[in-house]
Amino acid sequence: MQGKPWAGQRFIGPGDMEGIGHPATRARDTLRETKMNFDLTDEQRQIRDTFARFCDERIAPQAAALDEARAFPRALFQELADLGFFGMRYPEDVGGSGLALTEFALALAEIARGSMSLAGAVAMQSLMGTKFLHMLGNADILERLFKPALRGEKIGAICMTEPNAGSDLDSIATTAKKVDGGYVISGQKTWITSAPLADFFTVFAKAGEEKKLTIFLVERSFKGLIVGREIHKMGVWALPTSEVAFDECFVPDSHRLSQAEGDGEGHLRKTLAEIRIITGAMGLGVAQAALDEAVRYAAERKQFGKPINRYQAIQFKLAEMATDLEAAKHLVYYAAWLRDAGRPHHKEAAMAKLNATEAAARICDQAARVLASYGYAMEYPVQRYLRDVRFTLIGGGTSEILKLIIAKEVSS
Ligand SMILES: Cc1cc2nc3c(=O)[nH]c(=O)nc-3n(C[C@H](O)[C@H](O)[C@H](O)COP(=O)(O)OP(=O)(O)OC[C@H]3O[C@@H](n4cnc5c(N)ncnc54)[C@H](O)[C@@H]3O)c2cc1C
């Protein structure tokens, strides 16, 4: 019992159960006691603490200026590459560190606590911007593009969304027509993160007789690739997002990442849970920042002769925000743990994303109320959290789409 949190307490320790109940029940309880463990491993704690320090010392002090500059956070992006962040989810033989999703989510949440723009940029680089190159690319693509991307030397983007195809990827209209030695891609994409700087683009286009989703790799130098208008956004100002067009862009056969025409949806499905869990983790980060700021401000701000955190109305807000966040954390890390353990996790990943991002949006809203006029002032960070958190409600599936997925899972 020594060292256990329940040691010495009455009525709640396993010792209190001795001699009670059927032996089989007792055996099950013992098993449950050893299996249920909310502790992080030493390695996970070390990773979280490393990125927490990086957030406090490197990201947070620059976050407001980066946002104001509306420029891609290149220097911090490189520092995270040097820390090995982009390779966390890839095996050692390609330059990664082979870490689990839980570790990645812990690190990403800390980055998002400092800057959602940076978190969006580095999440794109470590997951969707590079994933299909690693899964499906040939040796040349791995050497020339993928490995340098893990070192931060090249930037990757993913092109799925189109003006008339958002949640509904079946209505993608970009086509890839087979020609001698490759394909000709024609179409229009929009909302492409990091596009103004990207060196390569993973593109979803319809190919084959059945016109099904197929994945291609387009390099920046390819003729017919046009990075168009930058989209001015409500939030994540330091994360450039652009339109991208393909004007009869020739792509050699070596750059059809899909093993067969039409297998794109299957490959995408393998990554969706991961995207949802990490988007949930980004929600946790910005929510933590908003809660921290609300707690700090409520202790300092005095009205009617007392700090406002002495008023129950404010205390209730802080309590609700903290509880919302704690619950969201548990579901995000539970979903990540399920995935790492190789167990079914699609429903929990959708729930984790839905719950964490909606909770984060509520928490940022409540933080703005605690700060009142200062929550509305540009020199305080809460307005940024309030704007940035909305990004997490959209990317990785909107709340409505996630509810459809969850309803289907629970009804099947
Ligand atoms: C900052 C930012 C960065 C992005 N980066 C990228 C990127 O790098 N690459 C990329 O490809 N895309 C990117 N996207 C696009 C993003 O993936 C899409 O915005 C998202 O898929 C939703 O599509 P939509 O905005 O067209 O909304 P729509 O799909 O048009 O949805 C509009 C509304 O209708 C609801 N709705 C839609 N269908 C249903 C249904 N069947 N039942 C109930 N409700 C429904 C939605 O929930 C939503 O409320 C980015 C978006 C943002 C905001």
Per-residue pLDDT at 56 = 98
pLDDT of residue 162 exceeding 50, the answer is yes
Per-residue pLDDT at 314 = 98
- CA 84 to chain CA mean position, Å: 17
Q: What is the C-alpha separation between 59 and 53, in angstroms, rounded?
A: 9
φ/ψ (deg, to 5) at 258: -55, 140
Q: What is the C-alpha separation between 201 and 220, in angstroms, rounded?
A: 8
Atom index in ligand 1 nearest the CA of residue 193 equals: 8
Atom index in ligand 1 nearest the CA of residue 396 equals: 17
Q: What's the whole-model pTM score?
A: 0.92
281-332 pLDDT, tens per residue? Answer: 999 999 999 999 999 999 999 999 999 999 999 999 999 999 999 999 999 9
66 touches 99 (CB < 8 A): no
Q: Is the dihedral of CA 82, 85, 86, 89 positive or negative?
A: positive
Q: Which is it for strands 156-159 and 302-303: parallel, antiparallel or unpaired? A: unpaired
Non-local CB neighbours of 318 within 8 Å, separated by 6+ positions: 291, 294, 295, 298, 309, 370
Residue type, 226: I
329-360 pLDDT, tens per residue? Answer: 999 999 999 999 999 999 999 999 999 999 99
User: What number of other Cβ atoms are within 10 A of residue 307's Cβ?
Assistant: 14
Q: Is 237 in the pocket of ligand 1 (CB under 6 A)?
A: no
Q: Which of 190, 191, 213, when mutated, tests ligand 1's pocket best, judged by the most ligand atoms within 8 Å of its CB?
A: 191
Q: Whose CA is nearest to atom 27 of ligand 1?
A: 166
Helix ranges (DSSP H) in 55-115: 60-69, 74-82, 101-114
Q: What is the C-alpha separation between 284 and 273, in angstroms, rounded?
A: 17
b/e per residue, 171-185, with b = 16+ CB within 10 A?
Answer: ebebbbeeeeebbbb
